Amino acid sequence: MSHDIQLVRVHPQTISVKEELLRPTQWDHKAVVDDLKDYVAVTRLIKATPSITIVNYELVLLSGLPFVVAALDATPPLPEIICSVQIKKELLEQLGIESVSLKELMNSINESYWAVEMLVFNERLEPNKRQFVEDKVYNFYIEVSTTTENIGNYCSFGEFEWNENNTKVMWKWKRNDKEGNHIVRFYNLLKEIDQTVASIRSWNGIAIIK
């Protein structure tokens, strides 16, 4: 029987947390819990793959705690999340746990969808700074959507929405999740905004800027 790392679809409420078994990843440490909860509440998804194990036929979390907490905190809680687990495939079937095929995962990565982005700042932004952020982000979209390179398939853009304190902005754009230099370009853009406009607390609930 094969004993490989499997991707599985599980309800977050079925995952137990045992502090002594947790092995937080760098992304777990970078999660800004309140921001991550806000992001998951709006998007209804988590951009992470928590790792679980099975102890006495019980699903136990190894990593990804902030993401599982955010999934459970949403109203209503997310009905399912995708996790990784090292287990014999035959045991998965015995436990009634649904596995996710690599083909299914790749299809979801290649499929374009309306992705929500969220930036949270450590300070209130004045109108000129808000406009600078909006211009920079939109110019990035124009650049990647008109290039001949296959870097994310950006094809549509929504409106910017700021909270009443002007510390958080959200927007949507239609793209896919393929890896490429668009990710590096956008990260560099965030660093520029962080260094020249205002300190960024989190991007989609993660403190990526150091």
Rounded to 10 degrees, the C-alpha dihedral 78/83/87/92 comes to 30
Residue 19 lies in a domain: yes
Residues spanned by the domain of 184 = 112-203
8 plus 94 within the same structural domain: yes
18 plus 94 within the same structural domain: yes
pLDDT at 111: 81
Q: Say which CATH number the domain at 160 has.
A: 3.30.70
96 plus 135 within the same structural domain: no
* Domains: count for the chain: 2
Taking Cα atoms as reference points, which of 42, 87, 40 lies closest to residue 64?
Answer: 40
Residue 141 has pLDDT above 90, yes or no: yes
Residue 176 lies in a domain: yes
Average pLDDT of the residues of the chain: 90
Residue 124 lies in a domain: yes
156 plus 85 within the same structural domain: no
Q: pLDDT per residue over 157-184, tens digit each?
A: 999 999 999 999 999 999 887 777 888 8
Residue 209 lies in a domain: no
pLDDT: which is higher, 209 or 36: 36
